[in-house]
A and B are shown apart, each in its own frame.
Chain A
Amino acid sequence: MGALHPLSLVFPLMALALSPLLMGVINRTKAAWAGRTGQPLTQMYYDLARLWRKGAVYSRTTTWVFRMGPVAGLASLLAALALTPFGGLPAPLFFDGDLLVLIYLFGAGRFFTILAALDTGSAFEGMGASREAFFAVFAEVIFILGLAALAMQTGSLSLSGMLATGEKYDFAASAMVAAALFVALLAENARIPVDDPNTHLELTMIHEVMVLDHGGPDLALIEYGRALKLWLFSSILAQALTPLPGGPGLAVVYMLTMMTAIAIAVGVVESTMARLRLTFVPQFLMGAGALSALAVILFLR
């Protein structure tokens, strides 16, 4: 490990503070697209505060696994935050191969959410858990191949080396990786066309149905975890898209602009596309996986 830049520690705190705003940007985009004013950008802070003040109700069929789910899920995302570089500086923690750790941390978070859903003993939650696990198989392939292509492009095996210092740059391949990572972002964050965050019909939900039985502070943790996950994915995508301009100040401004643009893009996708039929989702994700695989092939030669 090299010397730690003091700003590398400030960036994760910034992510913790600002990540709910990104959700606000998506919601505002969707509202604007539909001709409404929409909720304030800071709405999610109020929601989280409201949920946090409430008490939690636990069903008698649940055990400690259910109560552990939200905490463990958020904890794995916080660990992932420590590995993700930001603004042209290395992350607080980096080592060779930490990209695999990042992927497994996302997997661990999902695993605990799935366990908590199964622990309720509800048929609907079991269905959601099964779908989440199924689609994650494809989403992870996209993500890991995309990161592998980036690793080959830069010759570095750590996320900080890959993303913070993009020296060798091939426009075409980067565009492919970025497109694949964008699909991975949509799939991992339960967004249209893979999942619909607004639906409240058990038969069609995936991620939402798994957290139906959580309430109060537990739901606040889960919602906050979603915002954080979106922040992580969009910051990785923003850094994979183009090389960052020099200097931490300029790089941060640039990244925040890119991340806002990504959130707006997610909002536009949600406003213009319908959710895919469940049987077409794997096909859609396979297509994105093929893109990442192609990028890997191009760097292999």
Chain B
Amino acid sequence: MADMALALVPQLLNLIFMALLITNLYLLGSSRLGSLIWTAGAQGALLAALPLFPQVGEFSTHAVILAAGSGMLKGAVIPWLLLWALRDANIRRDVEPLVGYSLSLTFGVAVTGLSFWFAEKIAGGLHAGEGAPFVAVGVSMALCGMFLIASRTKALTQVIGYLTLENGIYVFGVSLAARQPFVVEMGIFLDIFVFIFVGGIVMFRINRTFDRIEKGRAPTEDAP
């Protein structure tokens, strides 16, 4: 029984990676802000399980704290904050992306393919074999997040893009956590802390005033 359970662990890890990549593509292909936030939350909750896997490192109190902390923040607190901002900003869809949704999806698939290729190249130096999927998924999520920031016009979607970028870095970092636990943890929690302040509060105000941030155009030009 215990052997069978142990054999299921790599399958489960694969499943989590797959789910992460799917949420990633969903973020690129959907325009509804509400479901974007839920998806980003689901992504955060999935990520939180990663430190508990034996592929990452020994099972320890450290790992449990890391998992519980990031699960709380990425899976519950941040989505709740974003949903609150969404209600307040009174917008439901990102209707004017700079790059269309189908094209974004194509980009997402292409980037995922590239990052798997890239991971094969560099993973050998990081972690013997085990780290390759972590690097691939992490890089692909980070790139998709950057793409979201650059290609969407609503502030909320851009914050979700930033969150995805962060999540990608987290996946990348978690594969190194066994060696550099303190640095990784500090990085994760500080970044999130900054994000909450900048993202939550600033966006809350800005959305109320201008209804959206548009890059490349000053807000005053919006006035009739």
Contacts and interface: CB of A to CB of B under 8 A. Distances in A.
Interface string B101-137: 1100110110011001000100000000000100010
B18 interface: yes
A10 B67 CA distance: 55
Contacts, number: 57
B29 A291 contact: no
Nearest to B31: A283
The interface size bin for chain B is: 20 to 34
A172 B15 contact: yes
B204 interface: no
A298 interface: yes
A23 B131 CA distance: 48
Nearest to A282: B102
A293 interface: yes
Q: Classify the secondary structure of B's interface with A.
A: helix
B15 A287 contact: no
B111 to A, nearest CB: 10
Interface string A73-90: 000000000000000000
A172 to B, nearest CB: 4
A297 B29 contact: no
Nearest to A285: B102
B15 A171 contact: yes
Nearest to A286: B102
B101 A283 contact: yes
B79 to A, nearest CB: 22
A300 B29 contact: no
Contacts of B26: 287
Contacts of B101: 283
Contacts of A170: 11, 14
Interface string A276-289: 00000011001100
Interface string B5-46: 000000100110110011001100100000000000000000
Interface in A166-208: 170-173, 175-176
A25 to B, nearest CB: 29
A172 B105 contact: no
Contacts of B22: 176, 291, 294
B11 A293 contact: no
Contacts of A293: 109, 113
A115 interface: no
A276 to B, nearest CB: 13
A258 interface: no
Contacts of A290: 25, 29, 105-106, 108-109
A298 B18 CA distance: 9
Nearest to B17: A172
B15 A300 contact: no
Contact of B25 (A172, A294, A300): A294
Given A286-B106, A287-B29, A290-B105, A297 B14 contact: no
A297 B108 contact: no
A76 to B, nearest CB: 30
B102 A297 contact: no
Contacts of B25: 287, 290-291, 294
A290 B132 CA distance: 22
A176 B18 contact: yes
Contacts of A298: 18, 116
B84 to A, nearest CB: 28
A301 interface: yes
A297 B118 CA distance: 13
A277 to B, nearest CB: 13
A172 B11 contact: yes
A287 B105 contact: yes
Nearest to A297: B113
A283 B112 contact: no
Contact of B21 (A287, A294, A300): A294
Nearest to B100: A283
B119 to A, nearest CB: 8
A228 B113 CA distance: 36
A172 B18 contact: yes
A282 B108 CA distance: 16
Contacts of B18: 172-173, 175-176, 294, 298
Interface of A: 170-173, 175-176, 282-283, 286-287, 290-291, 293-294, 297-298, 300-301
List of 7 A-B pairs having minimum Cβ-Cβ separation, nearest first: A172-B18, A172-B15, A172-B14, A293-B109, A286-B102, A297-B113, A290-B105
20 contacts: A170-B14, A171-B14, A172-B11, A172-B14, A172-B17, A172-B18, A173-B14, A176-B18, A282-B102, A283-B105, A286-B106, A290-B105, A294-B21, A294-B22, A297-B112, A297-B113, A297-B116, A298-B18, A301-B120, A301-B132
